[in-house]
Structure 1
Amino acid sequence: MSSNTEADDPIRIAFMCVQNAGRSQMSTAFAERERERRGLEDRVEILTGGTHPADHVHDEVVDVMDEAGFDLSDRTPREITLDELRSCDYVATMGCSTLDVGDVGEAVDVRDWALEDPDSQDLERVRETRDEIERRVKDLFDEMCVLDPNDYSGEA
């Protein structure tokens, strides 16, 4: 369950992996779109980062996300700190992290999505990972549904 107790506090979600150059970038893009679709821009904050960020988003990730209508070519992987993660309600790791509840505290809902690293994979495999990420992000938003459905129209 969410650690937020104040109705006015935004829900904070982080998507993290080692390089912040593939899975976490795809997750962030889908989460940003889902937040907008549900009209939750003022209710949900999205963070992303890695423990050892790469220099750029993986080329194959940029390509398959472009197919899905996202331009990730201008995104830069960044480091994420434990303090940032501790400030979150939900943290989704991508299957490459040693992060556990002890690192961030019991108030943070940590989930390991155990997704295949898209780096140097053929485009079909990266598309499969992309599509799985999209499903998981939608499921996360459905689960955390921070507002009563009557409180928002789903329109941006």
Structure 2
Amino acid sequence: MSDRPSVLFVCVHNAGRSQMAAAWLSHLAGDTVEVRSAGSAPADQVNPAAIAAMAEVGIDIAAATPKVLTTEAVQESDVVITMGCGDACPIFPGKRYEDWQLPDPAGKSVDGVRPVRDEIRSRVETLIVSLRSTEVAEETA
């Protein structure tokens, strides 16, 4: 990993889970981590219920736009976290991959999205700890 690790969050539509995860990581880690998100079949817009659920915790993702997953985005990332994108994500040696099994917020109300939002926050907090542990291990190696 470089001085500033990069994390790519991938889900099918890049409209809910991956957008919330990217926003949480940016919010909680600040500029210590480079954050990307993408989708294997991006939607036209971010899920309005995800926007509302994140706004409840003071994070604005209203201006976010779904992006298509590219090979370059995967190559440029140290950690790739998939959320139900199946086999659409290319695999490269030396990358750290995680698959987060999370319910898809598509079609859910804000009440239905809140538990997903909160689970993502918990997982992002764990991810931040592991990224910092990796950085320390690399510095002492």
TM-score (norm 1): 0.80
- Aligned equivalents of 1:98, 1:137: Cα separation in 2: 23
> How far does the alpha carbon of each residue in 1:16-55 deviate from its partner, in whole angstroms, 9 at most, with x for none?
111100000000000001112xxxx2x4211111111111
Q: CA deviation at 1:114?
A: 1.1
Name the residue aligned to 2:37: 48
Q: Which of 7, 13, 28 is residue 13 of structure 1 equivalent to?
A: 7
Name the residue aligned to 2:139: none
Name the residue aligned to 2:72: 83
Specify the SS of the correspondent of 2:98.
Answer: strand
Letter of the 1:28 partner, please give it: A
- Aligned equivalents of 2:17, 2:7: Cα separation in 1: 15
**Pairing of 1:2-151 with structure 2 (within 5 A):** 4=1, 8=3, 10-36=4-30, 41=31, 43-99=32-88, 103-145=90-132, 146-148=134-136
> Could you say which structure has the higher helix fraction?
2
- Aligned equivalents of 1:27, 1:62: Cα separation in 2: 12
TM-score (norm 2): 0.88
> How far does the alpha carbon of each residue in 1:50-91 deviate from its partner, in whole angstroms, 9 at most, with x for none?
111111100110111110111111111111202210221101
Stretches of structure 1 lacking an aligned partner (at least 5 in a row): 149-156
Letter of the 2:80 partner, please give it: V
Which structure has the larger Rg? 1
Give the percent of matched residue pairs that are identical in Structure 1 and Structure 2: 34
Aligned CA RMSD, in angstroms, stands at: 1.6
Letter of the 1:23 partner, please give it: R
Letter of the 1:89 partner, please give it: D
Letter of the 2:33 partner, please give it: V
Letter of the 2:115 partner, please give it: E
Letter of the 1:137 partner, please give it: V
Q: CA deviation at 1:99?
A: 4.5
Moved beyond 2 Å, runs of 4+: 122-125
Q: Is the 8 A contact 1:96 1:114 kept in 2?
A: no
